[in-house]
């Protein structure tokens, strides 16, 4: 860990938000990057541009800071979903889902990293949250699964397991953010103009998932 890509080495502290908010955002970043045990309060304080005892003044303990950030994170995450538009062609629903998901992860990249870190540490929290969402009548998550199943039944799309499909699309949307330094090193466009790269990625992903690679002339079972 001696050499590091300088990821926004400008500390969050330069924004002129109030102290509590700055701590909050700094904690989000550091916990996301390093996990709960890997994060140091000093590192969070530096990132926020404040003195360490202030962390305790505002959030008492590391544990409580962690929980406070986690709670807002999870709410935001679930709320960041749109319900798929009813009725339209499935291709449009899919396009909207991909575009929105990638935008959402761009905005909440550290939230995504946080969830990944939690998962790698073995925490069931994301699973519980999603299971609850999928079980909730009318939740955007469940609606998306139902949209897929409906499209399969109506023959609009080829038969496919809805959960496998969701996992595939979500993987393809989230993973590049989780491996951001690598992506930026492998793709010049990603390094120069990341937003443009993401637009390209949205288009690519939709193309592949919707139409596949096989050219139309080639027929197959």
Residue with tokens 């690519």: 204
CB atoms within 10 A of CB 121: 11
Which does residue 54 touch among DNA, its own copies, none (CB within 5 to 8 A, set by kind)?
A: DNA
Q: Contact 145/166 with Cβ under 8 angstroms?
A: yes
CB of 61 to DNA, least distance (A): 4
* Min dist. Cβ of residue 22 to its own copies (A): 21
| Comparison of 64 and 182: residue with beta carbon closer to DNA | 64
Closest separation in Å from C-beta 54 to DNA: 5
Core vs surface per residue 87-103: b (16+ CB within 10 A) or e: eeebeebbbebbbbbbe
Using CB under 7 A, count the residues that bind DNA.
Answer: 16
- Which of its own copies, DNA, none does 56 bind, CB closer than 5 to 8 A by kind? DNA
Could you tell me if 26 and 14 are in contact, meaning their C-beta atoms sit under 8 angstroms apart?
A: no
Site string for DNA, 16-35 (x = CB under 7 A): ---x----------------
Binding of residue 39 to DNA (CB under 7 A):
yes
Q: Does 50 bind DNA (CB under 7 A)?
A: yes
- In angstroms, the CA 134 to CA 145 distance is 8
Residue 53 binding result from DNA, its own copies, none, given CB thresholds of 5 to 8 Å by partner type: DNA
216 Cβ partners below 8 Å, 6+ apart? none
In the list its own copies, DNA, none, the entry touching 215 (Cβ below 5 to 8 angstroms by class) is its own copies
CB 41 to DNA: min, Å: 3
- The distance of Cα 144 from the centroid of its chain, to the nearest Å, equals 17
């Amino acid at each position: 860990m001696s050499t590091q890509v300088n990821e926004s080495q400008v500390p969050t502290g330069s924004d002129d938000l109030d102290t509590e908010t700055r701590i909050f955002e700094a904690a989000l970043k550091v916990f996301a990057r390093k996990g709960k045990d890997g994060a140091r309060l000093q590192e969070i304080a530096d990132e926020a541009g404040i003195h360490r005892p202030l962390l305790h003044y505002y959030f008492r303990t590391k544990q409580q800071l962690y929980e406070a950030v986690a709670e807002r994170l999870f709410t935001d995450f679930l709320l960041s979903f749109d319900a798929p538009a009813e009725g339209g062609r499935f291709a449009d629903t899919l396009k909207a889902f991909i575009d929105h998901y990638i935008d959402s992860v761009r905005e909440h990249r550290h939230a995504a990293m946080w969830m990944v870190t939690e998962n790698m540490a073995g925490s069931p929290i994301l699973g519980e949250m999603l299971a609850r969402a999928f079980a909730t009548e009318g939740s955007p998550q469940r609606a998306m699964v139902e949209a897929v199943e409906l499209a399969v039944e109506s023959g609009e799309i080829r038969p496919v397991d809805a959960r496998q499909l969701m996992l595939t699309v979500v993987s393809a949307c989230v993973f590049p953010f989780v491996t951001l330094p690598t992506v930026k090193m492998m793709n010049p466009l990603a390094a120069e103009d990341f937003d443009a790269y993401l637009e390209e990625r949205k288009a690519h992903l939709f193309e592949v998932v919707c139409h596949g690679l096989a050219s139309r002339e080639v027929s197959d079972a």
